[in-house]
Amino acid sequence: MSLSEIPALAPVAGPKSRPLRKKGSGGRLTAILLLLPPALILFSLFVILPLTESGYYAFFDWNGYGQPENFVGLRNFEQVVGHGVFHTALGNTAKIVIASLLIQMPLALFLALLIYRKTPTNSLFRLIFFVPYILAEVAAGLIWSFVFDGNYGVTASLAQSMGIENFFILADRDWAFVAVLTVVIWKYFGFHMMIYIAALQGVPEDMIEAAQIEGANKVQIVRYVQIPQIKPAIIVSAFFAIIGSLQVFDVIIPLTNGGPSNQTHTIVTYLYTFGLTRMKIGFGSAIGVLLFIAAVGVAIFYQRIFMKGAKA
Amino acid sequence: MSRAHFWRNFARVSFLCLVASFVLAPMLATALGGFKSNAELRMNAFALPESWNTAFYASIITDPGFWRYLGNSMLISVATVILTLLVGAAAAYVFAQIKFFGSKMLFSYLLLGLMFPFATAILPLFIKVRDIGLLDTYWAVILPQTAFGLSLAILLFRTFFEQLPKELFEAAYLDGCSYVRFFWRFTLPLSTPILATVGVFVFVQSWNNFLLPLVVLNSRDAFTWPLGLMQFRGEFVTEWNRTLAFVTLTILPAIAFFFAAQKYIVAGLTGGAVKG
């Protein structure tokens, strides 16, 4: 519905004989007291309260039953930070961040530059590249665990056609995480591409023409006109890439479930596996607090450095 | 010049086709796999099945559990959408229309949800949901999901509401229309584009959600389809074809939905999404 259809709704305005209200009434207070509390209550109860409780539970050794009584100070944090699997999880999460920034984003930008113009072929490619993003992570993870299955999957066919022995990449300590990174890029590059396409379509065509007239070639136009023009979009997409990388979870569970021998955990699968499934609520909360600090740190850093002028 | 142009375009389209096959091949192999016997699966993942064996697909479609999972997901997603739209729009309307002491602070407070991952609060959330007695109920997923979706919804709604013409409100106001009435009669009906965008976005998020249902739903009767799928995979671990049929039957509607609602999905995601 567009704004031009507003007159159609006019009859609701009612009879003119109704007395005018004094300025400043109109049920302001009623509106505030009626419309605002549902959001405030829901948000406080299910977002802010659990978050603060996380900070509280992190100082207790607690299995989740009864009240947390066994105060242990910073011991949970010490245990997390001293845990080898946590180091792996942290390193893996860092690998996802790096792969997102250095492989996924350039690929997305390159593709966006190839297909940002509105033609039927380009639209088709755009839709195809975006499909993995709307699939559920669990479905994506399962699809790729089939692809990587050394007995049945696509890798099995490849191995056979190349005449080499079956290989089980998801069971390989050194290579399993490469498989995870492949899936992450497959799943999310289309999202970043869409951000760039939206931005590239906003770059004024006459700026590009002007550069052409001055003798700039394609590469120069990209480098000196288009990329500077879409810088805000790149900054936003990098922000999403980092924050998203911090919370990769769903893909890992069907793909490797953190294995082999805990080599493919991320921070969130680590939290889930070592905190929740073993009901070590204090320990898990400490991981949650560390994740929170990382996420808020990134957000504040970003706000300070990049987002002063740009709309987030 | 035009020959160079042709070759450049040829290279461009070839590269795009290469990426497209990287994107589509796994999904294609999955859909085909649901028609194949184990022996055929071993041979070539991409080859067409020698005989299209529909038994695996049929066994999923006739499984009441499958429909139960889908039904649960549908119910939870629809409820989350309705609740997010109503509660979010109501709050955003107040922030857009009424200036009052502390409104800026409350607005920033509600936006805090944009800053951190859902997982940071998942353990206390589990404890809370359990203590309220909601474990294994639809509400255990709907309420936290709604709460976490509110920040983005309120941000998008407020921006949209502020762009609605002020004259409309002044006219209605002079006729004695109250704020609450105006919200129902004018703001909501005039905001269908943004309601649709946010609604579709929230729906997709809810439909695909895994971590929260995994933590707060224990019994199979309450499972959403991603949980059902994982459970199923665990049971039929040696039978890829069944699992592939299951996956295909859940991703096909998702893809169909995407093509039908792509305008809103893309708008919602590029308007500020949360994963990457």
Give pLDDT tens digits for B59-117: 999 999 999 999 999 999 999 999 999 999 999 999 999 989 999 999 999 999 988 88
Q: Which of helix, strand or coil describes residue B28?
A: helix
Q: Using CB atoms, pick whichever of B94, B109, B211 lies closest to residue A249.
A: B211
Residue B75, min C-alpha distance to chain A (Å): 17
Asked if the model's pLDDT at residue A21 lies above 60, the reply is no
Within an 8 Å CB–CB cutoff, is residue A311 touching chain B? no
Q: Which of B25, B67, B32, B65 is nearest to B48 (CA)?
A: B32
Asked if the model's pLDDT at residue A11 lies above 70, the reply is no
pLDDT score of B45: 73
Which residues 75-94 on chain B approach chain A with CB closer than 8 angstroms? 86-88, 90-91, 93-94
Distance CA B40, CA A111 (A): 36
pLDDT score of A3: 37
pLDDT score of A307: 64
pLDDT score of B275: 35
Asked if the model's pLDDT at residue B210 lies above 90, the reply is yes
Asked if the model's pLDDT at residue A2 lies above 50, the reply is no
Asked if the model's pLDDT at residue A312 lies above 50, the reply is no
Confidence bin at A191 (pLDDT 50/70/90): very high
Give the pLDDT mean for A244-255: 94
Q: Using CB atoms, pick whichever of B41, B146, B233 lies closest to residue A254.
A: B233
pLDDT tens, position by position, A105-147:
999 999 999 999 999 999 999 999 999 999 999 999 999 999 9
ipTM of the complex: 0.91
Give the pLDDT mean for B227-245: 92
Distance CA A242, CA A300 (A): 13
Q: Domains of chain B by range and CATH?
A: 64-270 (1.10.3720.10)
pLDDT score of A106: 97
Q: Do B276 and A285 touch (CB under 8 A)?
A: no
Confidence bin at A186 (pLDDT 50/70/90): very high
Which residues 4-43 on chain A approach chain B with CB closer than 8 angstroms? 6, 9, 12-16, 18-21, 26-28, 30-32, 34-36, 38-40, 42-43
Q: Which residues pair with A71 in a beta bridge?
A: A60
pLDDT tens, position by position, A148-165:
988 887 888 888 788 888
Contacts of B240 in chain A (CB under 8 A): 146, 149, 152
Determine the residue type at A184: V
Q: Do B259 and A127 touch (CB under 8 A)?
A: yes
Asked if the model's pLDDT at residue B35 lies above 90, the reply is yes
Distance CA B33, CA B241 (A): 6
Within an 8 Å CB–CB cutoff, is residue B19 touching chain A? yes
pLDDT score of B42: 79
Q: Which residues pair with A60 in a beta bridge?
A: A71
Give the pLDDT mean for B25-30: 93
Determine the residue type at B129: V
Q: What is the mean pLDDT of chain B?
A: 90
DSSP letter for each residue of chain A = --GGGGGGGGGGG--TTSPPPPTT-SSHHHHHHHHSHHHHHHHIIIIIHHHHHHHHHTTB---SSS----B-TTHHHHHHHH-HHHHHHHHHHHHHHHHIIIIIHHHHHHHHHHH-S--HHHHHHHHHHHHHHHS-HHHHHHHHHHHT-TTTSHHHHHHHHTT-----GGG-TTTHHHHHHHHHHHHHHHHHHHHHHHHHTTS-HHHHHHHHHTT--HHHHIIIIIHHHTHHHHHHHHHHHHHHHHT--TTHHHHTTT-STTTT--HHHHHIIIIITTT-HHHHHHHHHHHHHHHHHHHHHHHHHTTTTS--
Least confident of A76-90, A163-177, B215-229: A163-177
pLDDT score of A247: 92
Least confident of A98-102, B126-130, B237-241: B237-241
Q: Which of helix, strand or coil describes residue B53?
A: coil
pLDDT score of B116: 83
pLDDT score of A12: 44
Q: Domains of chain A by range and CATH?
A: 49-82+280-312 (no CATH), 83-278 (1.10.3720.10)
Give the pLDDT mean for B142-158: 95
Q: What is the mean pLDDT of chain A?
A: 88
Give the pLDDT mean for A172-186: 95
- Give the pTM: 0.90
Structure token pair of residue B96:
């857009």
Instruction: Name the closest residue on chain A to residue B93, using Cα atoms.
Output: A35
Burial A30-43 (b: 16+ CB within 10 A, else e): ebbeebbebbbebb
pLDDT score of B1: 55
Q: Which of B137, B268, B105, B154 is nearest to A134 (CA)?
A: B268
Distance CA B24, CA B6 (A): 26
Give the pLDDT mean for B184-209: 92
Q: Using CB atoms, pick whichever of A31, A249, A289 lies closest to residue B179.
A: A31
Distance CA B121, CA B212 (A): 10
As a whole-number percent, the residues of chain B with pLDDT over 70 amount to 96
Instruction: Name the closest residue on chain A to residue B144, using Cα atoms.
Output: A46
pLDDT tens, position by position, A256-311:
999 899 999 999 999 999 999 999 999 999 999 999 999 999 989 988 888 665 44
Asked if the model's pLDDT at residue A197 lies above 90, the reply is yes
Which residues 139-198 on chain A approach chain B with CB closer than 8 angstroms? 139, 142-144, 146-147, 149, 151-154, 156-157, 160, 186, 188, 190-192, 194-195, 198
Confidence bin at B147 (pLDDT 50/70/90): very high
Q: Do B208 and A198 touch (CB under 8 A)?
A: no
